[in-house]
Amino acid sequence: MKVTQHIEDSKGETLFSFEIIPPQKGKSIQELYDNIDPLMEFKPPFIDVTTSREEFIYVDKGNGLLEKKLTRMRPGTLGICASIKHKYNVDTVPHVLCGGFTKEETEYLLVDCHYLGIDNVMALRGDAMKDEQSFVPKKGGNDFAVDLVKQINQLNCGKYLHDVMDVDNKANFCIGVAGYPEKHLESPSLISDLKRLKEKVDAGADYVVTQMFFDNAKYFEFVAKAREMGITVPIIPGIKPIAVQRHLQVLPQIFRIDLPEDLIHAVDQCKNNADIRQVGIEWAIQQSLELKAAGVPVLHYYSMGKSENIRQIASKVF
């Protein structure tokens, strides 16, 4: 079922959803299940599964030389989506990237999704690869998320990249896109980023999931500005609990987001990792309760494959 249909059916009740990352290549899927199991009591209508960009690795050739190879260290997004859907009878949302894929490869992926009964996809550009200065699309691929949304929407209309006669089974994907309450790191301003978001919605996106934020005021302002600009689709807040001291440095660095002074202060006061995790949990509970009281359609948690802190948060909120 479509994410938008789940929201409509909830009749104003805030839903719980979460996002997982595929395991490292060679690792078992069991750990993922062990982390999903405790979250099922909160009845997520859908679970997102991320897709990782490919990256360069250096393989020892055994003769003193290293060979540079391009690989994806966390493959299996679609397989995981299918297996979760099958095991838990819950909708799954594969993240589909522009980066690293030609339009033709994207079409194959979407056809697979359609045959697997996957009704939702999250359309994203992807970040630059680790050793790239800026994002470079694959030759023959989509440049921006808006182009990917257009491709998916074309498929929903029964239009493939090449002429296909007598289409009698059109895709009908519900399309999610990313939004940035503190603007995307490459964007010159929040307003210009919101105009880009509007382009994605006008191209067929059905809902937005936000980048993580730690100050709800940023989300409320973002939604108000989006509505002023005529973006009417659901805007789902993305929440990530702080879990380690290092988050204070890496989250602002990677995502160009601000952390509130009170949160920084509380983490700085902690004596050990367990205390920091607790601060992160308490902060996310307060954020979630306020967002729920404001009537957000879904609270979407970035679990990064670990569920214990998300379970503790959800048990206080749902």
The catalytic residue positions are: 19
Report residue 170: phi and psi, to 5°: -70, 150
120, two tokens:
């939702």
* Residues 279-298 close enough to bind ligand FAD by CB under 6 A: none
Q: Which span (57-65, 79-87, 181-189, 276-284) binds ligand FAD, by CB under 6 A?
A: 181-189
Q: Which span (3-11, 49-57, 101-109, 263-271) binds ligand FAD, by CB under 6 A?
A: 49-57
Nearer CB in complex with ligand FAD: 138/196: 196
Distance between CA atoms of residues 267 and 274, nearest Å? 11
Q: Which residues pair with 61 in a beta bridge?
A: none
88, two tokens:
């838990």
Nearer CB in complex with ligand FAD: 82/276: 82
* Residues 135-154 close enough to bind ligand FAD by CB under 6 A: 144-146
The helix/strand/coil state of 68 is strand
* Residues 182-211 close enough to bind ligand FAD by CB under 6 A: 184, 186-187, 193, 196, 200, 209, 211
| Cβ 164 to ligand FAD shortest distance, Å | 27
Distance between CA atoms of residues 177 and 121, nearest Å? 9
Q: Which span (22-30, 50-58, 108-116, 261-269) binds ligand FAD, by CB under 6 A?
A: 50-58
Residue type, 120: N
CB–CB of 125/150 below 8 Å? Answer: no
Nearer CB in complex with ligand FAD: 146/223: 146
97 binds ligand FAD (CB under 6 A): yes
Distance between CA atoms of residues 103 and 113, nearest Å? 15
Question: Three-state SS across 17-50?
Answer: EEEECCCCCCCCCHHHHHHHHHHHHHCCCEEEEC
Q: Which residues bind ligand FAD (CB under 6 A)?
A: 50-51, 53, 95, 97, 124-127, 144-146, 178, 184, 186-187, 193, 196, 200, 209, 211, 238
